Structure 1
Amino acid sequence: MNARGETNWLRCGNCQSYFMDREYALDSEVQHTQQMTWGDSEQGAQLNEFKELMYQSILRRICRLVSPAGRTLLDVGCAYGGFLKAAAAAGFRVLGYDIVPAAVRHVQKLGFEAQVCGQAADFSLTSEPLDVITVLDANIYWPDQPAELRQIYDRLKPGGMLVMRVVDKSWLAALGARLQQVTPAAGEKLLRRAVNDHRFSMPLGSLLGLLENTGFRIVSASPRGAVHSEKTSLPVKLSFGLGTALWHTLGIFLAPGAVVIAEKPCS
């Protein structure tokens, strides 16, 4: 059970991803998103302030690799424009798209270019190759990860950067599935916490492999800088801290999320 109602989840035997066993329909996804905090006009705008810590952390990483002046950044799943606002202040020309019309209207009122659409191939505000594409907490709602990443790869110029803030609770879902065999109620509770309203959860290692298979070169991948806010609860902050230490020392990923930067090679 999640915010969409009773839903079965399946696990891929190859990449170990968990995914929703439900056909993707854009109209129903829009309706679902509008019922969530980030899709609601008032609460969605408030999240812009809540996530400012993450936005600035990610921007610092981007600006160490790419000078903003004269560069164009596209934010995929731009919601109510929090990251667009921060990136514009840093000096980027910013563009965005989202599936929620109210969110796009809000972004346009902020003075930024944005479009209602559901995938990178349909984005039409520019046909020019892009310098940076950001996907912050958005890929968990994609119906087809490989297809969307290929589209993003095609929209980047050679040397362009893809920056993702990804949610990975596949390890928590796996733990919940095992626990269900012993204590069904506790296992189900853990599974619900892991999948939340997401359509998909891929282990970070599998995502990095998928990016490389798409043609990207991995620049960095770490839970460091993925915490949303100073107001994030202490247990979540601690899980990020522990997860960062485990990832960088043992290569074991047990954090709630990570920031991934990948480059489209110049040749």
Structure 2
Amino acid sequence: MSVPEGTILPSCRLCGGPGTVWFERPRQVLRCQSCTALYASTDQRVQEFTEAYYRGGVYSDYLADEPAIRRTAAARLRRLERRVAGRTLLDVGCATGFFLEAARARAWTATGVDVSRYATDVARGRGCDALTGSIDQAVPSGRRFAVVTLWDTIEHLDDVKATLAVARELLLPGGILALSTGDAGSVFARATGAHWRLLQDPTHRVFFTEQALRRLLERVGFRVAEVSRRGKWVSTAMILHHSSIGAAAHLARWCVRARVNPMVYVNLGDVMTVISVPA
């Protein structure tokens, strides 16, 4: 895609490589010519993940999605338990603590950290050990964990590389890093182009291909042990909230109010789950 002569495009947020314009709408997204990641050219994210983000913003009503989120969490925990002996866990981007609660129910000692004061206040109110702030500032010095997780989190971060480096330092010997994020190289992402669902969230800043994510993890000292493309359980209200149908937003709110909000398993093949270990 052509740009006006003399335009200076921002370099890649991950590797500093040169970028070319990939999409102009709904916002300008560039593709790194070096690592293949996509990234937003400007910061259009919210400054803080307030209650509005979780109620009527990106989510119709995040709290109403608890059953679906916890069902996905239980499946993730079962896979982690097959890989690691320890039962200490740090969930980065813990939101309102549903994953922490699911972990605690399976005899894990789970701590969460999130930049959203609203979300961590909710999590603490539910009895979770939730810290407010970034991973490098909020986690007490000396703490170590068997597992560090970042579920649907790294696409939001200011400095993904620095966060992953800190996560590595927080792992116990034999520990693992588990994360999920969109796959910009997937068939669904490429087929939908600028309309790809993960491009629509203004708080998403980086969009990874498997190649870009592998390179980044290797640069910070990880070895990728497994890449899979698993689905997740979502509520009917969540599906409607992200639908282009005119009355969908009203229907989503009705589902929440009427408590008619069944779960649906969705796998579009456009989200990677990556398990890594220190190299």
Q: TM-score normalized by structure 2?
A: 0.71
Q: Could you say which structure has the higher helix fraction?
A: 1
Whether contact under 8 Å (1:44, 1:79) holds in the other structure is no
1:11 corresponds to which of 26, 31, 45: 31
**Once superposed, what is the RMSD of the aligned Cα atoms?**
3.0
Aligned equivalents of 2:172 and 2:56: distance in 1? Answer: 30
Aligned equivalents of 1:230 and 1:39: distance in 2? Answer: 16
1:80 corresponds to which of 75, 96, 120: 96
Q: Percent identity?
A: 26
1:52 corresponds to which of 57, 63, 70: 70
2:138 corresponds to which of 110, 113, 123: 123
1:109 matched to 2:129? The reply is: no
Whether contact under 8 Å (1:41, 1:102) holds in the other structure is no
Aligned equivalents of 1:14 and 1:32: distance in 2? Answer: 35
1:262 matched to 2:271? The reply is: no
2:175 corresponds to which of 131, 139, 160: 160
2:79 corresponds to: 61
Three-state SS of the structure 1 residue aligned to 2:224 is: strand
Give ranges in structure 1 of 5+ residues lacking alignment.
Answer: 178-187, 241-254
Three-state SS of the structure 2 residue aligned to 1:165 is: strand
Aligned residue type for 1:81: G
Task: Single out whichever of 49-58 and 76-85 deviates more from structure 2.
Answer: 49-58
1:199 corresponds to: 205
Q: In structure 2, do the counterparts of structure 1 residues 11 and 59 end up closer, same or farther at CA, with 3 Å as the change threshold?
A: same
1:250 corresponds to: none
Write the deviation string for residues 215-237 of structure 1: whole angstroms up to 9, x where unpaired. Answer: 1122211013x32348697xx96
Aligned equivalents of 1:29 and 1:228: distance in 2? Answer: 28
1:148 matched to 2:168? The reply is: no
Shift of 1:108: 0.7
Task: Single out whichever of 43-52 and 55-64 deviates more from structure 2.
Answer: 43-52
Shift of 1:212: 2.1
Q: Could you say which structure has the higher strand fraction?
A: 2
| Equivalent pairs, count | 227
Three-state SS of the structure 1 residue aligned to 2:227 is: strand
Q: In structure 2, do the counterparts of structure 1 residues 125 and 89 end up closer, same or farther at CA, with 3 Å as the change threshold?
A: farther
1:178-193 → structure 2 map (5 Å cutoff): 188=194, 190-191=195-196, 193=197
Q: In structure 2, do the counterparts of structure 1 residues 151 and 9 end up closer, same or farther at CA, with 3 Å as the change threshold?
A: same
Aligned equivalents of 1:12 and 1:206: distance in 2? Answer: 9
Whether contact under 8 Å (1:170, 1:201) holds in the other structure is no
Shift of 1:128: 1.8
Whether contact under 8 Å (1:53, 1:230) holds in the other structure is no
